[in-house]
Amino acid sequence: MSKLLVTGASGKLGKSAVTLLLANGVAPGDIIATTRDPSKLADLAAKGVDVRAADFDDPASLSAAFAGAERLALISTDALDVPGKRLKQHQAAVNAAKAAGVKHIVYTSMPNPGPESRITFAPDHRGTEEAIKASGLTYTILRNSWYNENLFMSLPSALQSGKWFTSTNGGRLAYIAHVDCAAALAAALASDNTSSEVLTMTGPQSLSYAEIAALASEATGKPIEVINLTDDQLAEGMKAAGVPEFMLPFMLGIEANVREGHFDLVTDDFEKLTGKKPSPLKDFLVANKDALLAAPAGGGH
């Protein structure tokens, strides 16, 4: 079998994807797992996975790290602190993959990353998709919808106060389970498909915040009233609740993106890729009922 490489393999998605590759029968010696800190992957190394150091901020580290890989999963980094930094990291990874002889790139993007997106970091994904297409390598771009797990940022305080403030104004979002994104990544990487595709990974239903609140209430037995505000009103409330000012454009961008419908899409791409149905949000809410009911860390809005 050709060698399959996963970058960022000590992150949550990377680790799950490598674990799934092994569970699906890929030989450990056919997997290269790269990370900035190989000591975090001693468990995988002990199983025979080829663990190597790779840091996209250090392009010189990438040629040895990527050597011998035929298909490479490029996991988008979490470097959102400096605008443009993440795109530069990803461009370095794409260039290094090409130079190392990688044939196919799988990349974790986001739904509708075009100029219409209100997500502050959409340009990173758009630019990375463009760099991959320009590289001449074949690719599978996985536009992953919002993880269910992101609801831990809003639902615990909504469940505690009984109120969920939003400016999404009925807009919808098809949340997806993190584990389903890992399964999609593992399937795309291990596939022998060498055509280029852009696939959007979504959960089975696109839901408004009122519909999500109803599901969360059903799962926990606690009512939530969804209160629609303007962006300005929401920003004031967030500030009063202690959300740092620098976070506001990011958080309001998500609200606007949902309101304007850029996340309102359900596809069957996940099922086509993995042969399985994506798990419904309801299952996540039921499975995480106790954690959602635990008091939110910082009070909150």
Ligand X SMILES: NC(=O)c1ccc[n+]([C@@H]2O[C@H](COP(=O)([O-])OP(=O)(O)OC[C@H]3O[C@@H](n4cnc5c(N)ncnc54)[C@H](OP(=O)(O)O)[C@@H]3O)[C@@H](O)[C@H]2O)c1
Chain residues binding ligand X by CB under 6 A are 7-14, 35-36, 55-57, 75-79, 89, 108, 144, 146-147, 150
Neighbours of 194 (CB within 10 A): 11
User: Which stretch of DSSP H or E encloses residue 130?
Assistant: helix 122-135
* Contact criterion met (CB below 8 Å) for 51 and 44: yes
Nearer to ligand X, 40 or 239 (CB): 40
Nearer to ligand X, 17 or 158 (CB): 17
Measured between alpha carbons, how far is 123 from 80 in angstroms, rounded to an integer? 12
Least distance to ligand X, CB of residue 128, Å: 10
Nearer to ligand X, 35 or 257 (CB): 35
Nearer to ligand X, 104 or 143 (CB): 143
Which residue's structure tokens are 């926990």?
220
Least distance to ligand X, CB of residue 240, Å: 26
Nearer to ligand X, 11 or 171 (CB): 11
Among all residues, whose Cβ is closest to ligand X? Answer: 8
Least distance to ligand X, CB of residue 86, Å: 7
Nearer to ligand X, 9 or 219 (CB): 9
Return the structure tokens found at 72.
């490479």
Backbone torsions φ then ψ of 295, nearest 5 degrees? -60, 135
Least distance to ligand X, CB of residue 152, Å: 11
Backbone dihedral region of 185: left (phi > 0), alpha (psi from -120 to 50 degrees) or beta?
alpha
Least distance to ligand X, CB of residue 30, Å: 19
Nearer to ligand X, 109 or 208 (CB): 109
Least distance to ligand X, CB of residue 282, Å: 18
* Contact criterion met (CB below 8 Å) for 46 and 64: no
Distances in Å between the Cα of 133 and the Cα atoms of 103, 141, 144, 148 are 13, 10, 18, 29
DSSP string, 220-277: HS---EEEE--HHHHHHHHHHTT--GGGHHHHHHHHHHHHTTTT----SHHHHHHSSP
Return the structure tokens found at 212.
């999500």
User: Which amino acid does the sequence have at 47?
Assistant: K
Least distance to ligand X, CB of residue 6, Å: 9
Least distance to ligand X, CB of residue 123, Å: 13
Nearer to ligand X, 109 or 167 (CB): 109
Return the structure tokens found at 61.
């580290």
Return the structure tokens found at 160.
């505690």
